[in-house]
């Protein structure tokens, strides 16, 4: 399996990247990123790119892949207004899905959303993510993932609140709807791709169920 990852330098994406690199089912991992990745691995090809609404310059990254794991995101606390949040959360993902269809039409698109996503929520971030999920599923048959607390190595850009609370996450390990490790999130995404899952929303407890079906390295 050839996999394309967005957000590999982030907290969730870093965990997914490591799961991909350690999986015997993955032959090549391509990462589109704004900055170089510290990890070096024979499976990994990095495409440094700055415009996440126009991928013409890195079209090669999209060709001949089996799945795109879109882990790129931002906390609503890290942006100044709704337009910026919408561009990162919605516009970047739709542009990537459209480019994937053009260059690898049979490939699956997997989108990391978040627990609490709802079109009727009073929170702007939850409504934007719900809109993004709906459009990705309707237009591309995407699989949308709603993890809760992700236990993974924090990235440099991770919100301070995440860094502060992360040591407490493992207290939630026994609650299947509230906790998932970054490695299990990555294994679940790969397993879902291998099983051909399409057009659905996967909540945290199901993420852990799917991860348990995945082969361990």
**How many CB atoms lie under 10 A from the CB of residue 159?**
15
pTM value surpassing 0.75: yes
Token pair of 30, please?
Answer: 């391509």
Question: What's the whole-number average pLDDT of the chain?
Answer: 91
Q: What is the mean pLDDT of residues 187-206?
A: 98
- 1: which residues sit within 8 A by CB, 6+ positions away? 25, 26, 27, 66, 67, 190, 193, 194
Q: What percent of the chain has pLDDT over 70?
A: 90
**What's the pLDDT at 157?**
56
Residue 90: pLDDT above 90?
Answer: yes
Helix (H, G, I), strand (E, B) or coil at 86: helix
What pLDDT, on a 0 to 100 scale, did the predictor assign at position 169? 64
pLDDT at 154: 54
pLDDT in tens, 37-68: 988 899 999 999 999 999 999 999 999 999 99
Q: pLDDT tens across 96-149, in order?
A: 999 999 999 999 999 999 999 999 999 999 999 999 999 999 999 999 999 998
Q: Is 47 helix (H, G, I), strand (E, B) or coil?
A: strand
Does the domain formed by 2-213 have CATH 3.40.50.720? yes
What is residue 153's predicted lDDT score, i.e. its pLDDT? 67
pLDDT at 164: 54
Give the pLDDT of residue 165.
57
Distance between CA atoms of residues 94 and 105, nearest Å: 15
Q: Quote the pLDDT of residue 77.
A: 82
Helix (H), strand (E) counts: the chain: 7, 9
| Domain ranges (residues) in the chain | 2-213
């Amino acid at each position: 399996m050839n996999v394309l990852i967005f957000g590999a330098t982030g907290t969730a994406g870093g965990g997914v990247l490591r799961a991909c690199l350690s999986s015997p089912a993955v032959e090549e991992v391509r990462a589109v990123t704004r900055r170089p990745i510290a990890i070096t691995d024979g499976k990994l090809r990095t495409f440094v790119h700055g415009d996440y609404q126009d991928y013409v310059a890195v079209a090669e990254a999209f060709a001949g892949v089996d799945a795109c794991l879109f882990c790129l995101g931002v906390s609503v606390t890290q942006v100044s207004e709704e337009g910026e949040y919408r561009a990162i959360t919605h516009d970047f993902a739709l542009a990537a899905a459209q480019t994937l269809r053009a260059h690898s039409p049979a490939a699956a698109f997997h989108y990391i959303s978040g627990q609490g996503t709802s079109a009727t929520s009073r929170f702007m971030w939850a409504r934007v993510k719900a809109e993004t999920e709906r459009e990705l599923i309707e237009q591309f048959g995407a699989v949308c993932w709603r993890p809760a607390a992700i236990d993974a190595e924090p990235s440099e850009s991770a919100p301070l609140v995440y860094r502060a609370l992360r040591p407490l996450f493992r207290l939630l390990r026994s609650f299947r709807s509230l906790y998932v490790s970054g490695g299990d999130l990555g294994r679940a995404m790969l397993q879902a791709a291998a099983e051909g899952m399409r057009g659905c929303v996967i909540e945290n407890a199901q993420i852990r169920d799917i991860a348990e079906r995945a082969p361990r390295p």
